A and B are shown apart, each in its own frame.
Chain A
Amino acid sequence: MVYTMLLYLALVVFGIGLLFKVAGWFRFNIGIYDPSLTVSVRIRAAIQGILSVIFSPKLATLIKVLVADVLFQNHLRRQDTLRWVMHMLIFAGFTFLFFMHALDKIIITSLFEKYYLALNPFLLVSGSMVLAGIAIAAYRRFILKVPRLKTNAMDAYVLIILAVILISGIAMELTKLSSYEHYQIFWDIHFLACMVGLAYLPFSKFLHVFTTPLSLLANAVMDANSHPANVKTRQIMELDACLHCTNCSKRCSVAAASDIIGNSNILPSERIAVLKEYVAYKEIGARGFAALQEGISLCTNCDRCTVICPAGINLRDLWFNAREEVLQREHAAPLVLTPFSFYRGLKRQEMTSDQYKQPLSNAVKDLTAPFERFSTGEVVPLGPQNSEFKKTAVLSGGTVTYAYCFTCENCSTVCPVVGNYEAPQQALDLLPHQIIRSLGFGLKDAALGARMLWYCLTCYQCQEHCPQGVKVTDIFYELKNLAVVEANQSSAQNGSESAAR
């Protein structure tokens, strides 16, 4: 009786959880918000999409992917044999256990009247298979310390629940004949663990048993012509398809940046978890948001993660849409003013001109705020000399050369950016030689705040042509670095002020 109630309870939690998840796929938004894509439009589009695939030649593709990638995980085998072995052991063992053991009353007994084995060898074999798979997973996560492979609480829970189910199950089988008491204890543990697993499934990465195949199948049949509503729905669903295998982070082009910047959102596998909370309207806080924005912006769009993801998640499009979403929501991180934005520039026709330009102009405004302070006085105050500042601006070799400048203006004369404007000072605030001189005078706000810094091509013409050997472009790089530090500090200050209020 108690067991039956527990089973129903677990099933109810499971059912509600699943419904809740699926509803989220249609409710939540990612990327630039489109009010015409309401929940009902998205549900209808999904049904239409699915039907039109089933009754079309694409069905063959679907079946092919189902067999090759979902069942046999061909893409995984090509990438990483150990992980493939791990997956197949758990997958095959579990499938067998599920149908032959968990559902034995329904399936087996109806097939074979006298189905009873004192010591069921099949169960032991498949149980051991799953156990071996779990052992490999634990070995990878806890012993084989792959650099930056992160293990989160959910990874650990999932492994623990699985291990408890398996170990208690095997112990139960072994004690079946010898000791009824022990058998009963193991049975209870086994049953409880199964129920916990079942109830936890929709909320954990266990869910990938449904979502990963869905993602693989959806991506196999969807293309550029797919309904935009379906693309949104798929992208939300894909967030649930991630199994936190961290493969993407291992291959990620910019992973090493996280060693210094210390923001785990730089790693795609970690970012996806935060993104999932973010799209579900969970509170991630101003700091969490800034970290997410930095993580998404610090991406070279190299596609390596997309190629490697075993769940077939189209990370390329996910990052693009997520980047737009977080850039439109709040002032953008300084990262948008770097070549990391090149890809966004290539895709600029996919948004309106306002959507495209707003984050950029906001970022420039934030970073050049000091210059506003500097230039509002009618007479430009010469000094006071900020010798502290001059000292901070010598991060690496060569930067001290600003002191040799004799204001010949060569740098500004050869600069293609300066040359592009009729009235360069209006567009750029200061010309290159003026920035170098500001640095010499210790005029911090001027040196750090001029738009020229951010509109510099880093073409090194100025540096190459300086008769005094001033490392103009390198100095600009360092001034930009300092301006970023300053801007971050002042936004952190503003953040804590507004939090205090």
Chain B
Amino acid sequence: MKFALFIGCNIPVRVPQYELSARTVLARLGIEIEDNPEFKCCGNPIRNIDQNTFLLMAARNLALAEKQGLDLMVLCMCCFGSLKKAAHVMRQLPSIREEMNGLLAKEGLHYSGKFAVKHLLSVLHHDLGIDALKEKCTKPFKTLKMATHYGCHALRPSDVTEFDNPVAPSIFDDLVTATGAKSVEWPLKLECCGAPLLGVNDDLSVELTRKKFADGRRAGGEYLCVACPYCHMQFDKVRQIMVSGQDTAPRMDSIVYPQLLGLAMGLERDALGMTLDIKEEVVAEPPAKPKKTAGRTKASATDVQPQE
């Protein structure tokens, strides 16, 4: 099993633990990846402004993967949604595909649509399989309760992303359950994290995230589990905003899925980038030894660890 890895713009600079843990976990699971330094922005941020520019930027990446002769594995859900959308448009409207190919020819690229675009979660769930994954989880969690956050752009529009059932999805829950953790049911599970509006309408963006925090906590979730850098950065940022604004409403830490999986597989914390995670508790005090001390009320993601 081999994929071209699409990391996107944000992960390497702002969520490096996601990349690190994904690489570590994938290597351990025997899934090969090939990097391509030519991959650039997926085009998502420009969709509001100009459809054709978005399509060209996305098509360029798709064509590059085609040149490598590999299916794409994407870590970011916004990149995933964007690449899927472009592939879909170019499949439906051959005239647009030809137009893009005309522009891509300058760089010696061509897109025909032979290769698939998959999100990391789909690869783990469909290509590897839950049973195989469970086998690898030698140190499963016993009591951990996770609020699984699906993320919009992988899930919807479902006819384009072909990720999961859009109203009753299960693959992320299955993946979390495979680590031994419990994936709690929470009403706002499928709602947006708020990230697309951070920097545009912060009051609205922050409020949506606060609602998710409160809802996840109410349902008994200890952490949010995410598989998208935007969701992760959003949760981190809003927590920071809440702390500095002395907002006492419930907050939640989020953890990227490969870290959770890696811990259940008994992998080294360093190889999973656990200390790279910017957590408010970590910011406030030096990272505590990964051990639950009595009397400590707020759990920290650095404390997530398999219970024997």
Contacts and interface: CB of A to CB of B under 8 A. Distances in A.
A417 B107 contact: no
Contacts of B205: 345
Contact of A257 (B13, B53, B199): B53
Interface string B1-19: 0000000011011100000
Contacts of B50: 260-261, 481, 484
A396 interface: yes
Contacts of A300: 9-10, 41, 45
A477 B55 CA distance: 13
A147 B107 contact: yes
Interface residues of A, number: 55
Contact of A345 (B13, B56, B207, B237): B237
B93 interface: yes
Contacts of A349: 244
Nearest to B240: A349
Interface stretch (B65-73, B151-159, B280-288): B151-159
B56 A260 contact: yes
A396 B237 contact: no
B40 interface: yes
B64 to A, nearest CB: 11
A337 B9 CA distance: 18
A457 B152 contact: yes
Given A302-B10, A457-B192, A464-B156, A334 B200 contact: no
Interface in B182-207: 191-192, 194-202, 204-205, 207
B51 A395 contact: yes
B276 interface: no
B29 interface: no
Interface string A297-338: 010111100000000000000000000000000000011111
A473 interface: yes
Nearest to A250: B38
Nearest to B52: A260
Interface in A221-235: none
A397 B204 contact: no
A420 interface: yes
B196 A254 contact: no
B49 to A, nearest CB: 5
A107 to B, nearest CB: 45
A256 B51 contact: no
B45 A338 contact: yes
Contact of B45 (A340, A457, A459): A340
A298 B49 CA distance: 10
A254 B78 contact: no
Nearest to B93: A397
A481 B198 CA distance: 20
A345 B202 contact: yes
A71 to B, nearest CB: 27
A339 interface: yes
A362 interface: no
Nearest to A476: B48
B124 to A, nearest CB: 23
A348 interface: yes
B202 A338 contact: no
B45 A458 contact: no
Interface in A263-307: 298, 300-303
A484 B52 CA distance: 14
Interface in A409-438: 416-417, 420
Given A338-B48, A340-B45, A457 B103 contact: no
Contacts of A252: 40
A341 B45 CA distance: 9
Interface residues of B, number: 56
Nearest to A451: B201
B208 interface: yes
Nearest to A361: B201
The binding surface of chain B is classed by DSSP as: helix
B89 A460 contact: no
Contacts of A343: 199
Given A253-B9, A298-B46, A345-B198, A417 B204 contact: yes
A205 interface: no
A260 B244 CA distance: 42
B250 interface: no
A257 B44 CA distance: 12
B196 A397 contact: no
Nearest to B237: A346
Given A260-B103, A349-B244, A459-B192, A336 B233 contact: no
Contacts of B198: 341-342, 345-346
Interface string A346-377: 10110000000000100000000000000000
B49 A342 contact: no
A230 B89 CA distance: 50
A126 to B, nearest CB: 36
Contact of A341 (B9, B10, B199, B233): B199
B298 interface: no
Contacts of B157: 460, 463-464, 471, 473-474
Nearest to A414: B191
A254 B57 contact: yes
A454 B207 CA distance: 17
A461 interface: yes
Contact of A420 (B51, B155, B202, B208): B208
Contacts of A473: 157
A360 B200 contact: yes
B246 interface: no
B300 to A, nearest CB: 21
B49 A334 contact: yes
B208 A416 contact: yes
A303 B10 CA distance: 9
Contacts of A337: 48, 200
Contacts of B158: 464
A478 interface: yes
Interface string B128-146: 0000000000000000000
A455 interface: yes
A252 B57 CA distance: 12
A217 interface: no
A76 to B, nearest CB: 17
- The list of the 5 closest CB pairs from A to B, nearest first, reads A345-B199, A341-B199, A460-B156, A302-B9, A459-B192
Interface of B: 9-10, 12-14, 37, 40-41, 44-53, 56-57, 60, 78, 89, 92-93, 96, 103, 106-107, 152-153, 155-158, 166-167, 191-192, 194-202, 204-205, 207-208, 230, 233, 237, 244
24 contacts: A252-B40, A254-B41, A254-B46, A256-B57, A257-B46, A257-B56, A337-B200, A338-B46, A338-B47, A339-B44, A339-B196, A339-B199, A339-B230, A345-B202, A345-B205, A345-B237, A346-B233, A360-B199, A455-B201, A459-B196, A460-B156, A464-B158, A464-B166, A477-B47
